Chain A
Amino acid sequence: MGQTALAGGSSSTPTPQTLYPDLSCPEGLEELLSAPPPDLGAQQRHGWNPKDCSENIEVKEGGLCFERRPVAQSTDGARGKKGYSTGLHAWEICWPREQRGTHAVVGVATALAPLQADHYAALLGSNSESWGWDIGRGKLYHQSKGPGAPQYPARPHGEQLEVPERLLVVLDMEEGTLGYAIGGTYLGPAFRGLKGRTLYPAVSAVWGQCQVRIRYLGGRRAEPHSLLHLSRLCVRHALGDTRLGQVSALPLPPAMKRYLLYQ
Chain B
Amino acid sequence: MYIKLVSSDGHEFIVKREHALTLGTRKAMLRGPEIPSCVLSKACTYFTYKFCYTNSSTVIPEFPIAPETALELLMTVTFLDP
A: residues with CB less than 8 A from B are: 174, 221-232, 234-235, 237-238, 250-253, 256, 259-260
Contact = CB atoms under 8 A, between A and B. Distances in A.
B61 to A, nearest CB: 10
Q: In which size bucket is the chain B interface?
A: 20 to 34
Interface stretch (B1-9, B26-34, B73-81): B73-81
B78 A250 contact: no
B60 interface: yes
B60 A224 contact: yes
Given A174-B60, A224-B50, A235-B70, A230 B75 contact: no
Contacts of B55: 221, 223
A256 B78 contact: yes
Contact of B77 (A225, A227, A235): A227
Contacts of B10: none
Contacts of B65: 230-231, 234
Q: Report, nearest first, the 8 A-B pairs whose CB atoms are least far apart.
A: A226-B82, A234-B70, A238-B67, A231-B73, A231-B70, A234-B65, A228-B82, A224-B53
Chain B contact surface mostly: helix
A223 B77 contact: no
Nearest to B46: A227
B60 A232 contact: no
Contacts of A232: 70, 74
Given A234-B65, A235-B67, A223 B54 contact: yes
B23 interface: no
A163 B79 CA distance: 41
Contacts of A260: 74
Contact of B63 (A230, A237, A250, A252): A230
A164 to B, nearest CB: 34
Contact of B54 (A224, A235, A250): A224
Interface in B44-75: 46, 49-50, 53-55, 57, 60, 63, 65-67, 70-71, 73-75
Contacts of B82: 226-229
